[in-house]
Amino acid sequence: MSRRSSIVAESKQIERNVAEFLEGRRLPAGEWQGPGDVDVVSRYFIAQVKHRSNVPGYITEGMKQIHEALAAPDELRRLCPDIYDDPIPIVVVRTKPGRGRKAQTFVVLTQIDFNRMAAR
């Protein structure tokens, strides 16, 4: 198996894994007929799965900072007395607006935290 074909096989498996945890199904290449592209459809979500060796540093740095903050529950409670005992950590990324482009806001969380959120 060539390196390229093993990368494609790995990407397909990751899409299958995402489909499983979203309780949906992976769409094989060419099945989506509309504009854009969709890798996974489920009852509540549609997903485009990106498989990369790493993510932008601002996402990993943001997650690191928020997980460090979770180690200070007394400070969290001081600032927000009615906070849940186990809050869901998220990173919010907002793009800058530009000529003819509105700002966009993205919410990023780990799969583990997504599953905890869904279980609530």
The more confidently predicted of residues 4 and 112 is 112
Cα dihedral 103, 106, 107, 111, rounded to 10, equals: 180
Whether residues 69 and 92 share a domain: the answer is yes
Q: Is the pLDDT of residue 84 over 80?
A: yes
Mean local confidence (pLDDT), 55-81: 94
Whether residues 59 and 23 share a domain: the answer is no
Q: Is the pLDDT of residue 62 over 70?
A: yes
Whether residues 103 and 66 share a domain: the answer is yes
| Structural domain boundaries, residue 95 | 55-120
Residue 3 to residues 6, 8, 43, 59, Cα–Cα distance (Å): 5, 9, 35, 28
> pTM of the entire structure?
0.76
Whether residues 43 and 30 share a domain: the answer is yes
Whether residues 43 and 93 share a domain: the answer is no
Q: Is 88 helix (H, G, I), strand (E, B) or coil?
A: coil
Expressed in percent and rounded to 5, the helix, strand and coil fractions of the chain are: 40, 15, 45
How far is it, in rounded angstroms, from Cα 39 to Cα 73?
38
* Mean per-residue pLDDT of the chain: 90
